[in-house]
Chains A and B, each alone.
Chain A
Amino acid sequence: MTTSAPTRVQRPRIVGDAAYHVAMLVAVLVWLIPMIWMVSLALSDNAALTKNTTSLLPVGFTLDNLLGVFSVGLTARWFLNSAVVTTLTTVATVLLCAMAGYAFARIDFRGKRIIYATVLAGLMIPKEAMFVPLFTMVADWQMHNTYQALILPRIAAPLGVFLMTQFFSKVPLEVEEAARVDGAGPWRTFFLIMLPLARPAMVSLGIFTFVQTWNDYLWPLVSATKAEMFTVTTGLASLQGNFAQATELGSLMARGLIGALPLLIIFIVFQRHLIRGIAMTSGGK
């Protein structure tokens, strides 16, 4: 806030900036202490950890925990499950929401207003709270412990449709008219012209969906009850509170770190998109 004062003498300003950055760096470090500690434990020797677990630097530095994550237990399988479920859910969500959003924004058809209002009403249905009827439905179809059960209920995201509708309604009409003059039908217009235009919105929605799906806990917990169908999130939860693991704190933390790795990579690569996706949920303005 103080930067808005333009006529300041140069030196106090530099000092002020330095103080600001020092304060922020300290705040960031304090904020991230729990994460730094986790990384340090993951890089520590399990035997050394039985004596000292309260160091911010690795005790008896080793990569064994990280390298051993996939060789012991079902973690590799959980990772595969999460990767399959999350990827398919994300692709399907983005595509279906973009299609529906395009129709709601750009195609005139009877009943559109009512259908769109019905979709928006879905924003008020708490998915988390409705897991009991969903469970019996999926049980009737004998679909529990399958990928379909983990993917299909998560695709229909009213928020995604809303965001894509908002996006498409802002695209200038001329773009579409030009395509129509060239003789392109709605499908061609959508896939060849509108989808490429919508890439930023789709990436934001996709990243957001990816993070949410990877982190989903309650639905995989009730639907995938066989250990080999766990996702990373439910699998890691199943390891906790298991006292045998407490003696191997380092490898437990390493599993957590690897389980969060895809998200960390996405965060580093797509940080701007993710943050914009969240800002978009506030209504675009």
Chain B
Amino acid sequence: MSTTTPARSVQTQHRRRSVKVGLRYGLAFTAPFLLLYLVFVVYPVAQAIRMSLYDWDLLGSVREFVGLDNYVRMLGGVNIAWSMTHLFWARLALVLLGVLLLVGPIRRRQLSGWRVAGVLGLVALAGLLGFYPAENGFWNDPVFWIALKNTLWFTAVSTPLIAVLGLVMALALQGRRRGSAWYQAAFFLPYILPVSVITLIWAYFLSPNQGLLQRLLGYFGVEPLSWLADPALAMPAIILTTVWWTVGFNLVLFTAGLQDVDQSLYEAAALDGAGPWGKFVHVTLPGIRHVVLLVMVMQAIASFQVFGQVNIMTGGGPGTSTEVVIRHIYTTGFRDFDLGYASAMSLFLFVLMLIVSVVQMRFLGKDNTL
């Protein structure tokens, strides 16, 4: 100890002091945020895990530890069978998708662990989809599966629709023409409206007696359609409403992405004799690949949580044709007062979205947010 030169000891002392000062201010600046963050964002996840292990009544009369019963109720059933042929084509498609994801890397002899894990996940999903209730069998909570199916269906249809429409709009506005900011603002406008104003407009807009859409479709000879009362049309109506509401958000993301595409690439493509389509495929699409992926993932995550439109416009109906997961959680908790089971389903949804987020991070790299 005594061997340290005075100069050095002064230096370390100085360093230590500055670290201390840093710690004091670092904590002071972050503490208010961290406190709220831990209490209202992190702790609820732990609380959800705890509640999901209880028979937790909203009114507080029953609070009994039941282990994994809530999960059995969610995922289990009576007389559940497994067969190769149930949902055969969908499962075959999943397996084929997995194989396709492997072909390229194997050819290039660069197979990453993440890709293998992803493909194994797809194959496992294809395996799990083989379960179904046999004769006299049933799922413990059939509505959960219907809600999950509807949510996935909603996501699978609305996400590409919104992405493609947003991209088409952004392309139409590309090139900073005079007035394009105004057009962008107009397309963006519905996004800022509250969900209850959106449903107010669309519930009446789609109405077969009072709605304007009926009159407009009437010009083309379409018979009156009772969109929200028809089990086959209710979900398309919800999707239509959602597309109109949220496409503007993605339009903005695409517009920002298009501005980052290197302009000289367009000129180079023009010199090579590429037409508009050629430029789009060879310059624009590769240039905004990253934004396309971001839009798809953000949209998918938002779609998993779809609730407001459904709750106000159809209340999950007619029947269960528009029941979605969040609404099922909401009714389980606040109509049936079963908060334990509602928490178990919340965690299921959380894990589902976590998987999507992790996939996104693998594809998009660290510098991206969501």
Contacts and interface: CB of A to CB of B under 8 A. Distances in A.
Interface of A: 1-5, 17, 20-21, 24, 27-28, 31-35, 37-38, 41, 53-54, 56, 96-97, 99-100, 102-104, 107-110, 112, 115, 118-119, 122-137, 152-153, 155-156, 158-159, 161-163, 186, 190, 211, 214-215, 217-218, 222, 232-237, 240-241, 249, 252-253, 256-257, 259-260, 263-264, 266-267, 271, 274-275, 278-279, 281-285
Contacts of B210: 53-54, 249
B1 interface: no
A260 B245 CA distance: 14
A259 B252 CA distance: 24
B350 interface: yes
Nearest to B206: A34
Interface of B: 18-19, 22-23, 25-27, 29-30, 32-34, 36-37, 39-45, 47-48, 51, 56, 171-175, 177, 179, 183-190, 192-197, 199-205, 210-212, 214-216, 244, 249, 252-253, 255-257, 260, 266-267, 270, 276, 279-280, 291, 294, 301, 304-305, 307-308, 311-312, 315, 326, 329-330, 333-334, 339, 342-343, 346, 349-350, 353-354, 357, 364, 367-370
A132 B212 contact: no
Given A31-B186, A156-B40, A233-B196, 7 more contacts: A108-B18, A108-B26, A109-B19, A109-B23, A132-B346, A153-B40, A281-B369
Given A233-B195, A281-B369, A126 B349 contact: yes
A217 B26 contact: no
B37 A28 contact: no
Contacts of B353: 124, 126, 129
Contact of B192 (A97, A159, A211): A211
22 contacts: A1-B276, A4-B267, A28-B187, A34-B202, A54-B212, A99-B32, A99-B33, A100-B29, A115-B34, A130-B45, A132-B51, A132-B343, A156-B37, A158-B41, A217-B308, A218-B308, A236-B200, A240-B312, A253-B204, A259-B197, A264-B192, A267-B185
A135 B39 CA distance: 13
B345 to A, nearest CB: 9
Contact of A279 (B212, B244, B253, B357): B253
Contacts of B267: 4
Given A100-B33, A153-B40, A282-B257, A232 B204 contact: no
Nearest to A124: B357
Given A24-B183, A37-B212, A267 B192 contact: yes
A283 B26 CA distance: 24
Given A100-B29, A126-B349, A283-B367, A237 B294 contact: no
A97 B36 CA distance: 11
